[in-house]
Structure 1
Amino acid sequence: MTRQAQSDNSKAVAQHFLLPDAEITLWRLWLDKPDADALLAPLTRELSWRQEQIRIYGKTVKIPRQQVWMGEPHCSYQYSGVRFTPSAWHPAVQRLTAAVSDSINQPLNCVLLNLYANGQDHMGWHADNEPELGVAPIIASLSLGATRRFDLQHQTQGHQLQLQLEHGSLLVMAGACQQHWQHRLPKQSRVAAPRLNLTFRYIAPPV
């Protein structure tokens, strides 16, 4: 079930999805096309993309996408046995982080950027539930480039949601979403164009 509501961001209308154990909001046009276009090419070209290796079931494998982890100096985190240390801010990414933070009225200080070369690049089922993100983390996901399918599934109740994440769209996963739901970006063999995704998060500074 969904309902429409006017977003505080005048560029878009927010679509709220009424789901158990999750608060999901999608702005399909959070960035208009000229603004989204102006970000896609330079970020793809200027960032130091890496195809990371992670451990899955005791084996070291290359992930099917390229990544950059960026944020404040204290924002290290561990995923699948690998510790990621943040790169220094790219000015455009830092401005985007501030804009998204203002738009959703939540603090954000780090971002995982994923570059999918085409529909063969993908991400499997997972939840963003690393301890560094705290309880009930808010994940804000900005999409640039090719439209890709995004799936969510409840871990115990069988509920599912399928979305199309378009160029310039912003998806926010909040509430208990990361405790009770998983999400993925599946392969889509017919997609030939690249997609760049920025997932903004918050990691509390050490006390």
Structure 2
Amino acid sequence: MKSENFSLPDAELQYFPDFLSNEKADFLFEKLLKEIPWQQQNIKLFGNEIPQPRLTAFYAEKGISYTYSGLQLQPETFSTEILGLKQQTEELTSIDFNTCLVNLYRDGRDSMGWHADNEKVLGKNPVIASISLGGVRSFQFKHKNNKNLKEKIELQHGSLLIMKGSMQHFWKHQLPKTKKEVSPRINLTFRKIQ
């Protein structure tokens, strides 16, 4: 499987543009779009509660929950499709993931602001594996200590992005809003909660 390695200081970043075949990616996008129990929850941002600018669902092994931005997520049981993607990702990364946060970006107004996946429950150097289905969106990175260090990747339908090593200590990432017309996008992010 073809991969692209990005040589960023203080980070390990791998991108697999063809992780899934077009046929499989198309099937999964349509099935997940219809069958996931999508929710729009409020998050705390700078002391205010606002609706998340995307729809979400959380899947995990029994007994695991996840908290971020003041949200306590209660998990759904892994569906057959999400479990299959988890196993395929585990085979490639040799990491056992136990959660999956799924986001639906309905159009260019839906987004995710600058952040790092650095919650204590993820461990010291978490591996974050992110599968993209649907519309192509620009995923951006910036170094926390050097404002001149920036990178972006156009996340393709059926692709897998892996962030690991010390990346979450030194880099932030975002999926910004865009005025371009973009198709809906589903993102499945696998993590291991300690």
TM-score by length of 2: 0.97
Tell me which amino acid in the other structure corresponds to 1:39.
L
**Over residues 169-189 of structure 1, what are the superposed CA-to-partner deviations in whole Å (9 max), with x where a residue is unaligned?**
100000011111000001122
Give the Cα–Cα distance (whole angstroms) in 1 for the partners of residues 72 and 60 of structure 2: 14
- 2:185 is equivalent to residue 195 of structure 1: yes
Give the SS at the match of 1:34.
helix
Contact 2:136–2:182 under 8 Å retained in 1: no
Q: Please, which runs of 5 or more residues in structure 1 have no aligned partner?
A: 1-11
Contact 1:146–1:191 under 8 Å retained in 2: no
CA displacement at 1:74 relative to structure 2: 2.7
C-alpha RMSD of matched pairs (Å): 0.9
- 2:113 is equivalent to residue 124 of structure 1: yes
Tell me which amino acid in the other structure corresponds to 1:64.
P
* Count of aligned positions: 193
Match of 2:45 in 1: 56
1:65 paired residue among 33, 37, 54: 54
Match of 1:77 in 2: 66
Tell me which amino acid in the other structure corresponds to 1:199.
T
Aligned-pair identity (%): 39
Match of 2:164 in 1: 174
Q: Please, which runs of 5 or more residues in structure 2 have no aligned partner?
A: none
CA displacement at 1:168 relative to structure 2: 0.5
- Structure 1 segments of 4 or more deviating over 3 A? none
Match of 2:30 in 1: 41
CA displacement at 1:75 relative to structure 2: 2.2
Tell me which amino acid in the other structure corresponds to 1:52.
Q
Give the Cα–Cα distance (whole angstroms) in 2 for the partners of residues 111 and 192 of structure 1: 24
Q: Which has the higher contact order (CA 8 A, sep 6+)?
A: 2
Match of 1:101 in 2: 90
Give the Cα–Cα distance (whole angstroms) in 2 for the partners of residues 102 and 72 of structure 1: 18
Tell me which amino acid in the other structure corresponds to 1:192.
V
Match of 1:16 in 2: 5
**Over residues 93-134 of structure 1, what are the superposed CA-to-partner deviations in whole Å (9 max), with x where a residue is unaligned?**
011101101111111111100000011111100011111111
Tell me which amino acid in the other structure corresponds to 2:92.
S
